Amino acid sequence: MIKEKRPIIIDTDPGIDDAVALSIALNHPELDVQLLTTVAGNVNVHKTTENTLKLVSFFEKQVPVAKGCDKPLLIQLEDSAEIHGESGMDGYDFPKATAKALDIHAVEAMKDCILSSSEPITLVPIAALTNIALLLSMYPETKQNIKEIVMMGGSLSRGNTNTSAEFNTYVDPHAAQIVFQSGIPIVMVGLDVTSTALLTKNETEKIKAFGKVGNMFYSLFQHYRGGSLQTGLKMHDVCAIAYLTDPDLFTVQETFIEIALDGPAAGATVADLKMKYHDSTNATACLDIDIPAFQKWVVSNLEKIN
Ligand code: RIB
Ligand code: CA
């Protein structure tokens, strides 16, 4: 039985793990990617936009791309070019993008898309939440047509950018606070699952054999510093896409999450997992993932793209 295609908007900062996530989402039969919006994060927004246009062109998809914020709401951008390379997608020489970005800002494009949709849209931010926070602040009426936010970000335990904070919520903690206070249902796919859901040599050697697409990914994997080909590659953003189509891969818990805004834990997502301090919840947090099933899911979805 073919499921109804789920309308989604992906907010992204490619980023090599973003590239894998976008590739699966753009080609998945159950997902209707209505819009891609870009934001500063892994690298600057000019590069994340160019990278998104290159991917849309590579897969010959007619999906609109809109460029978003070039810096966090209040603080300076700290990128992670050391993980993804200076271009943000080092390792593969993509053909020049044929697609062009819309001439409106990502926030305007999201507002238009959401308000004109006949069914509620799922927002899938896999980057800092700057665009999302501005959308909800400038156009609160969009909330009524947003089904939920399924985000890669945050952590219930250690961080990957400071001791406690994951990169996406670290980059723009003020935006993260606005989003978690919005009242919109949120699924937080954080480091607790994304740092364990590795692509090992078993998977990357299979992917390498998938023709032009496999060659592209394997070339990127050789430059990606979110792990390594030898120790396993962390597919952070891909986990958010997996949640959309296969939520049963995940173990989740309803909780209340607050954001630390400054100090040594700035950007940390502080979860009241025992609900000692709150009498209501604002997020579904992912605690665990079926790693072998996830690995199989990634390989089979990339193989289908060919
Ligand atoms: O912490 C991992 C997240 O930060 C991923 O979205 C990765 O692409 C980077 O943006
Ligand atoms: Ca990302």
Task: Summarize pLDDT for 94-120 with one digit per residue, the tens.
Answer: 999 999 999 999 999 999 999 999 999
Atom of ligand 1 nearest to the CA of 234: 2
Question: What percent of the chain clears pLDDT 70, i.e. is strictly above it?
Answer: 99
The pLDDT assigned to 3 comes to 72
Q: Is the CB of 42 under 6 A from ligand 1?
A: yes
- Average pLDDT value for the chain: 97
This prediction's pTM: 0.98
The pLDDT assigned to 144 comes to 98
Segment 165-189, tens digit of pLDDT: 999 999 999 999 999 999 999 999 9
Separation in Å, CA 189 to CA 152, 226, 253, 299: 5, 17, 11, 20
The CA 277 to ligand 2 mean position distance, Å, reads 31
The pLDDT assigned to 161 comes to 97
Q: Is the CB of 18 under 6 A from ligand 1?
A: yes
Q: Is the pLDDT of residue 306 over 70?
A: no
Whether 91 contacts 221, CB under 8 Å: yes
Token pair belonging to 243: 């949640």
Atom of ligand 1 nearest to the CA of 152: 6
Segment 25-76, tens digit of pLDDT: 999 999 999 999 999 999 999 999 999 999 999 999 999 999 999 999 999 9
105 belongs to the catalytic site:
no
Average confidence (pLDDT) over 146-151: 98
Pocket test for ligand 1, best of 10, 17, 43, 47 (most atoms within 8 A of CB): 17
Q: What is the Cα gyration radius of the chain?
A: 18
Atom of ligand 1 nearest to the CA of 160: 1
Average confidence (pLDDT) over 136-144: 98
Whether 205 contacts 302, CB under 8 Å: no
Token pair belonging to 232: 């396993």
Segment 260-278, tens digit of pLDDT: 999 999 999 999 999 999 9
The rounded distance, in Å, linking the Cα atoms of 11 and 114 is 14
Nearest to 111 by CA among 142, 75, 155, 152: 142
The pLDDT assigned to 4 comes to 84
Residues, Cβ < 5 Å to ion ligand 2 = 13, 15, 18, 126-127, 237
Nearest to 225 by CA among 215, 233, 236: 233
Q: Is the CB of 226 under 6 A from ligand 1?
A: no
The pLDDT assigned to 219 comes to 98
Domains of the chain: 6-305 (3.90.245.10)
Q: Closest-lying ligand to the alpha carbon of 153?
A: 1
Whether 186 contacts 282, CB under 8 Å: yes
Q: Is the CB of 236 under 6 A from ligand 1?
A: yes
